[in-house]
Amino acid sequence: MLTGSKTTFKVRQMLPDIKERMLSQTGVNARSRDLFGLRCLPGECVLQRAVMVRKKLTAREGRGWLSGTLFCTHFRVAFVPQDSPKPDDNADPVLLGDHDVALASIEKVVVVGPNRTKLVTPNSSLKFTPEELVLYCRDMRVVCFLFDRLTPESQVQEMTYSIAKTYQPPKPGSVLSFQNAALGSVEMKQFLSNRRRDAHMNWFESASDWEQELERCGATSWRVSSVNDRFEMSTSLPRFIVVPQKVLDTELKKSFAHFNEGRIPRWCWRHPRGSDLLRMASFQNNIYHEKDDIRNLEMILFGCQSSLCVVVELGEELPSPADIQLAHSRLRALCLGDISTSMSVPDDKWLSTLESTHWLDYTRSCLRKASEVACLLRGGHLTVALQEVEDRDMSCVVSSLVQVMCDPHCRTMYGFQGLVQKEWVMGAHRFYSRINYHRDNDKEEAPVFLLFLDCVWQLWSQYPSRFQLTEDFLLALHDSVHLPLFSTFLSNCQRERCKRSQNLGQCYTPVNGWRDVLHPDSSTDPSDPPLPPVWDWSLQYSKPRQSRFTQPVPPTPPLQPLLNGNLNTNPDKHRLTDAVPGSVFLLSRGTFSCPTNLLPWRNSSSSSSGVYKKSHRRALSSENVPGLERLLKAWALVEFPQALTSTSGPQGPLDPYEPLLPLLMGPCMGLWRECYLRGALHAQAFSHPLSANHLHPVERLAQEVQQLKDKLEQVSTSTDPTPPAVTAEPRRADTNLNQNTNNGTFLFPASRPQSAGALRAAPLPTSANQHTSRGAPAASAPQSRPAHKDTGGSSKHTFLFGHSSVIDAHPDQRYYSASSNAKLPKSNGPSLAS
């Protein structure tokens, strides 16, 4: 960050050096990708290699050590465990293995010597041989490698130097060079260009995507407008925006000038009880409001509700980006300790220091605001418009939180991805500036998106079974933010993204929206690799890990794919029916008011305009305030328990659209330990590498079934479809149980790796060896996933019979037979034999 020119110089100097030291450069040829056991990306260079290294496993990975070989390439620090099976040559490239760290996500490198600890910088020289190498990552992981005495000393030193010299982004352009390192090769570009977009989620890029969402929500009186198709109305708004049916594009065009950055009120979501959620920037006051404009403005603002609009001002009660940045940096410092001195906050000051970061306060205020909005929407038949000065930070947080709370679809993985696309990517959250990949814009840096993820985690931890996505998914998303590789995060708005991808030959057809077209020469263009979206999880995570992103058994209330917009059997006694058209209220600090200058045009035109008489309006508003306040109170103490029993009881069907209102008291706001404390070494000071010699009974059960299956196959030569189906099922249940451990359910904070520990001795078919136990569900999960949208019965059906193929069963067989002979409980033997 501060190093500036000096480092730049260093690195430039170093470049030829790299070439000299490069152990090898992989060719274009796929077969030569495998180097010393490391599966390189096309074009990836291995700079250094150290053998006999042990990696410290975190609690989540099962604790203890894993020995193998450490590599430093010009893209990542890779660790290949011993005995890890040979990767399949034809498999798609995975950017990062399970044990790898991308150079760009490394924040600091520390080495531990016999009796000293040293922070390694690009130009520091080591006067001792490190015993331990600790990588502190931006995503708050701490990865620790231990060098054996058998590791050649030169390798240790060289490895440290290589990492120290390559990890730091020394100049703004380095992000680009990092991308090129990972994605720049011809082969990789070709591979990326041929990637197909995931059709399960809504990308919100084309008009039809938005129409699909309108249909899903049953928002019939809204339409998709392409008035901003060439970003002429607003540079930061997406090409397509949703506006009321009755407003014509020509009328619409006049309203842009009245809002900051032209961000007019736009539709985000419709509550099944008929309320609409809108977002807008603040009003431009220094503009003359013509009568015609006013009519249009009000029509846009009131949307399809004739009666009532509540403007929720997001500035005051929510943290500013600067607040968030400060809180997050304090939280980092607290959770990781002072990296250079290895000092950490003493235990007895932990709680108060955590409090003084204000991070939990900020998550609470976001959740509180979202709960308020959710309660308003539940009341039905009103418009809630979120207003923020720029409409690009907290309104993203609040609008998406509201939808996570209210819409079960947004609690599925694909639904959530669509939500992020809609509210953050298309809503033009300034990812690029806020994440500050280049370290050149410290003023703008603020992890607003990470705050949002924390809020979602809080919701998840209070209602784990109402989410189809899991903590693992949130963690994966959290970590991906720190990798400057994804188009999702590398631009500030759709316009920038389009500009970028146009170079790559995206083209637009009016019917299908954007479509990637491979230019004949794009693959040879060395400068700009195509950037994948973050949602292309296969680039980062192996199948077994991806299978942990979702609960294998969907939450009990069946997810209805379509809200028809009129879940209108609303018994709500608070419904505001008698409101007269034109009432606007401001919600601020939990109370409603009707300040005269709320809508600037009304203020200026109140005398002239006959439509909205001031006195008339005021009388109305005072009548409606109590009703609105009752809505808000719905989540306060008095009526809360009823809401709870209705959601929690096993009796009766529960209303899936009843918002998940979080508890916000001090003791209820938890620290996301799995994320912030996962790398903290002190957390394991007393923990002991537990002898992970027992399989979880469920996994044992799976093994037993596998054995039975093997026996069956021995007995009968005919292909019997049933046994494979049966074996698939138990393992599904096993993931299922483990998924619930998100809450920390098992004996060990991480139960999955525990089984892995036991299996480690056995030769394993996949490289992801601590997740091998998941291998089987991984194979089945993606195929069964689309079925989640259907009702439970049919999904089971597809599952059972979709996977009885012998091909599926074969890898499992290898895996299970290898370990089961040795490990099956003896008690089982007789019953099998008899």
| Contacts (CB under 8 A) with other proteins, residues 45-74 | 59
The answer to whether residue 648 forms part of the interface with other proteins (CB under 8 A) is yes
User: In this structure, what token pair is assigned to residue 619?
Assistant: 């009388």
Q: Which stretch binds other proteins (CB under 8 A): 78-86, 219-227, 481-489, 640-648?
A: 640-648
| Pairing label, strands 106-112, 65-73 | unpaired
Size of the residue set binding other proteins (CB under 8 A): 105
Spatial separation of the C-alpha atoms in residues 665 and 478, rounded to whole Å: 25
Query: Does residue 641 belong to the site contacting other proteins (CB under 8 A)?
Result: yes
Closer residue to other proteins, CB minimum distance, 612 or 640: 640
Helices 806-823 and 722-739 pack at an angle, to 10 degrees, of 70
Nearest-approach distance from CB 454 to other proteins, in angstroms:
16
Instruction: For residue 745, give Cα distances in angstroms to 554, 751, 777.
Output: 18, 8, 20
Of 677, 768, 781, 809, which one interacts with other proteins (CB under 8 A)? 677
Query: What residues numbered 232-261 form the site for other proteins, per CB under 8 A?
Result: none
Compare residues 595 and 670 and give the one whose CB is closer to other proteins.
Answer: 670
Site for other proteins in 538-567 (CB under 8 A): 553, 556
* AA letter at 552: P
612 in contact with other proteins (CB under 8 A): no
Q: Which segments within 115-154 are labelled E, that is strand?
A: 117-120, 132-137, 142-147
DSSP annotation string for 476-519: HHHHHTTSTT-TTTS-SSHHHHHHHHHHTTEEEETTTEEEE---
Stretch touching other proteins by CB under 8 A, among 184-192, 398-406, 521-529, 820-828: 820-828
Contact 770, 754 (CB under 8 A): no
Does the footprint of other proteins cover residue 832 (CB under 8 A)?
yes
Query: How many angstroms separate the CA atoms of 263 and 567, rounded?
Result: 30
Smallest separation (angstroms) from other proteins to the CB of 446: 22
Which window, 94-102, 205-213, 569-577, 643-651, contacts other proteins (CB under 8 A)?
643-651
By C-beta, is 175 or 405 nearer to other proteins?
A: 405
Strand ranges for 199-253 from DSSP E: 222-225, 241-244
> What distance in Å separates the CA atoms of residue 83 and residue 759, rounded to the nearest whole number?
12
Core vs surface per residue 802-816: b (16+ CB within 10 A) or e = ebbeeebbeebbebb
Strands 308-313 and 583-588: parallel
Q: Does position 124 bind other proteins by CB under 8 A? A: no
Instruction: Please identify, using beta-carbon distances, which residue of 303 and 730 lies nearer to other proteins.
Output: 730
Spell out, one character per residue from 482 to 511, where the chain touches other proteins: x when CB under 8 A holds, - when not: ------------------------------
Q: What is the closest distance, in whole angstroms, from the C-beta atom of residue 559 to other proteins in the complex?
A: 16
CB 700 to other proteins: min, Å: 7
Please, which residue, 43 or 724, has the CB nearer to other proteins? 724
Cβ of residue 774: shortest distance to other proteins, in angstroms?
A: 17
DSSP conformation letters of 783-817: HHHHHHTS-HHHHHHHHHHHT--HHHHHHHHHHHH
- Does 698 sit near other proteins (CB under 8 A)? yes
Residues 759-778 interacting with other proteins (rule: CB under 8 A): 761
Nearest-angstrom CA–CA distance, 513 and 536: 20
Residues 699-758 close enough to bind other proteins by CB under 8 A: 700-701, 704-705, 708, 711-712, 715-716, 718, 720-723, 725-726, 729-730, 733, 736-737, 740-741, 743-749, 751, 757-758
Query: CA of 447: how far to CAs of 390, 435, 453, 529, in Å?
Result: 17, 6, 10, 26
Q: Does residue 673 bind other proteins (CB under 8 A)?
A: yes
Q: Which is nearer to other proteins, 90 or 693 (CB)?
A: 693
Q: Is the dihedral of CA 56, 62, 63, 67 positive or negative?
A: negative
Strand pairing report for 24-25 and 45-56: antiparallel
Please give the residues from 376 up to 435 whose contact with other proteins meets the rule CB under 8 A.
none
Question: What own/partner pairs with CB < 8 Å and gap ≥ 24 does 664-668 have?
Answer: 664/364, 664/367, 664/368, 664/371, 668/462
Q: Does 316 bind other proteins (CB under 8 A)?
A: no
- Give the shortest CB-750-to-other proteins separation in angstroms: 11
Candidates 65, 508, 612, 640; binder of other proteins (CB under 8 A) is 640
Binding to other proteins (CB under 8 A) within 336-375 occurs at 347-352, 354-356, 360-361, 364
CB-CB neighbours of 782 under 10 Å: 14
Contacts to other proteins from residues 516-535, by CB under 8 A: none
